[in-house]
Structure 1
């Protein structure tokens, strides 16, 4: 193990990860208060981390699946011991509240994903066994995996990347978002209490570090969650070294409410599908298509539910919605809502940030009577503003839902399961949920269609994506 120091308290975590000299100041997006200083690693630091990973990886791979799974389970224990400290740090750095499907939920998901990944069985697949010949498909470790994560779910998505990579016998070098490096540094410090040295490291640096990681000859695969534009840049940077890639890119998820749905019954699911993490989720519901027969009833039900959800500073226990994580994202949401208002769309709730308050708070916003080509619909807002579009026929709704070049997730809402499945099968998205939205499961593969990326995460298929397939034939 890398350290004998316990990291069970918030103060212990900060002491372990915050730069004493230099570094970059990280502020709480809810209050503007300084959380700590993140170390500013360089490309030389990245090179050293990759060298250490390459040195440690063969012995890690040699342990085998069972022993590596035992390490992951002990890492989950460590996360649970430090859960409250991790959640508090996450809330302060990212802005999400402690309660609701937010900071405590995210830390709990980290432990759950580690355990689930440790539990999956990956056995050789017998391809041919006809008495004369036998062929088996095996998966071998790739070597060193580079993981580049986002700022919206920094701990959980890092675990989505590092857990299967480690389980498959790879070493991992993580490059967190510049907005939320402390959360990922803290998570790695906790996990590294249980792992051999060099197997997992975090390099907290700027854009140049990310570009170097994508092109680094010592990195065998890159996993990335983030925007489509950055994903395209990673594809280009990785080309010369023919890296394997798993890319979970931007989404603008559609939800279709069929005319037989019960507005009151689906309001809560629609709300959390759209506003989980204050709308800052790649696979959140970002444009809602509602049949004209129940349009007003769905709008009313959503306003009634959304108006009860408290927004505020994350460390205040009553809140379940928080600020936008950064000023750039706040401006995107504000500009898109303003464009909708300027076009004549009807604001049902929110739409006006409170002047003079600290933090990047944008109120929960519902916008009705909006055209499908309005920027708030056509562009990914990634924040607490949901456009609600009226449709007349299911064919029209499917056409609009499929009309963009992204397809991460989608949902269909109906009282008729058979009809819902029929519509779901026609939507161009990696995952289509029925009467829920965004409910990921560590056992169920997850990935995007079209410009929302390629490759699968989670489950046995996710493990395979972190291995090199090898056929042994005899």
Structure 2
């Protein structure tokens, strides 16, 4: 285990040769990230191609053992990783934030390592014996986002490595230090060249997506970028797993208890200060309990401290970058001008440093308002009134995205009936955004395709091969 300063120094380029990364809470320098080029990417891919065959030949048991050791290494450096993540991304140490994210990295490594993956006998009738196997793809390219940079990187690399692949990672330009540090720790337990982070710009990402030596791209990010990756990967017929934008709906049925669900509603929407693809981003509440839900949710939100992530008292942090801050501020202001009622927040203090936007609840808003129809990706939740369940379902399904959704009710059977009508990859009951490394996760419609997590996630990082005879 290294100290925080030693860990940061180990991933930093020579002084003055890198790109300075700023803390979104203070504007202060966190450190310098290397500026990798397309030539650096080519070297990483060449090294990955050289390392991959021996790694694949080890078999599942040996690869799993290495991943379990990598999980131990992450836990040994957990506090140093969490501090760096907090400073670079902005999320607080406490709450479902930085320490939580680092802990999730270890958990996902362990589940990827221990999920059974045996050949499947598909026919055995005495005449025909057919088995389905999954072989390594080769080299996988992983392109990650800035909101959960460590955790989502592990979602990509852990199953890829378990299945015998090498991985080249291209992190977000906003949060490269977190990913570089995580890979440095994991690489303590992996062969050289098997896992490489290339901290470059868009040219690096574009080249990774089109490169002939890359057999699969895993991408988490916007739908627009996902579409560009689809196009650039077409000539080499790459396999793709795309977890794209979402605008998740939640439906509160009239039998729900507003007080009982308020805390879970809040965290469903405001986890990571709203900067989560599968966060609750538009809430439909039956007219009978609309006022009560608004009141209870406002009580919970008002009590949540926001500030510098290194302050142990805070559970909400800044938005990670100015561009995202402007998106949230503009959408809330447009809703206000359109006549929506601001229950809480909507009044950022621009005299202080940092991209802090207060937790904001917006009521009495039209369903066609941009704050409802566009993904705000920040701490602003529109609450829309409905009269019938059919109306709520229709509104929830109206958009061209469908990553997640939720139904809130005192009757689980009723909630499941409504859930089955929603067009989303995952529908949660009385919670939202609760991903689990054992449970498949993926989007519907323009929220992407392909599954991650569990045995289905492992299969997605292999090439299916049927042996018939």
Quote the Cα distance in structure 2 between the aligned partners of 1:128 and 1:246: 29
Quote the Cα distance in structure 1 between the aligned partners of 2:435 and 2:205: 27
1:37 alignment partner, SS class:
strand
Q: Out of 44, 68, 78, which is 2:73 matched to?
A: 78
Query: Is residue 22 of structure 2 the alignment partner of residue 17 of structure 1?
Result: no
User: What does residue 232 of structure 1 align with?
Assistant: 227
Q: Out of 268, 278, 281, which is 2:276 matched to?
A: 281
Query: Is residue 240 of structure 2 the alignment partner of residue 245 of structure 1?
Result: yes
User: What does residue 267 of structure 1 align with?
Assistant: 262
Query: Is residue 391 of structure 2 the alignment partner of residue 396 of structure 1?
Result: yes
User: Offset of 1:274 from its aligned partner?
Assistant: 0.1
User: What does residue 8 of structure 1 align with?
Assistant: 2
Quote the Cα distance in structure 2 between the aligned partners of 1:272 and 1:37: 33
Quote the Cα distance in structure 1 between the aligned partners of 2:339 and 2:161: 52
Aligned pairs (5 A) from 1:99-118: 99-118=94-113
User: Offset of 1:355 from its aligned partner?
Assistant: 2.4
User: What does residue 294 of structure 1 align with?
Assistant: 289
User: What does residue 150 of structure 1 align with?
Assistant: 145
User: What does residue 37 of structure 1 align with?
Assistant: 32
Residue-by-residue CA offset, 1:116-143 (whole Å, 9 max, x unaligned) = 1111011111111111120000000000
2:188 alignment partner, SS class:
coil
Aligned pairs (5 A) from 1:51-450: 51-450=46-445
User: Offset of 1:9 from its aligned partner?
Assistant: 1.5
Q: Note the residue ranges of structure 1 that are not aligned, 5 or more in a row.
A: 1-6
Quote the Cα distance in structure 2 between the aligned partners of 1:128 and 1:343: 61
Residue-by-residue CA offset, 1:323-360 (whole Å, 9 max, x unaligned) = 00000000000000000000000000000101210000
User: Offset of 1:8 from its aligned partner?
Assistant: 2.6
User: What does residue 473 of structure 1 align with?
Assistant: 468
- The count of aligned residue pairs is 468
Quote the Cα distance in structure 2 between the aligned partners of 1:191 and 1:446: 24
1:469 alignment partner, SS class:
strand
Quote the Cα distance in structure 2 between the aligned partners of 1:134 and 1:364: 59
Quote the Cα distance in structure 2 between the aligned partners of 1:355 and 1:276: 23
Quote the Cα distance in structure 1 between the aligned partners of 2:393 and 2:365: 17
TM-score normalised by L of structure 1: 0.98
Displaced runs of 4 or more, over 4 A: none
Quote the Cα distance in structure 2 between the aligned partners of 1:77 and 1:124: 29
User: Offset of 1:20 from its aligned partner?
Assistant: 1.8
2:189 alignment partner, SS class:
coil
Residue-by-residue CA offset, 1:242-274 (whole Å, 9 max, x unaligned) = 000000000000000000000000000000000
Quote the Cα distance in structure 1 between the aligned partners of 2:215 and 2:356: 40
Quote the Cα distance in structure 2 between the aligned partners of 1:152 and 1:13: 21
Q: Note the residue ranges of structure 2 that are not aligned, 5 or more in a row.
A: none
Quote the Cα distance in structure 2 between the aligned partners of 1:154 and 1:377: 26
Quote the Cα distance in structure 2 between the aligned partners of 1:453 and 1:471: 27
Quote the Cα distance in structure 1 between the aligned partners of 2:86 and 2:196: 23
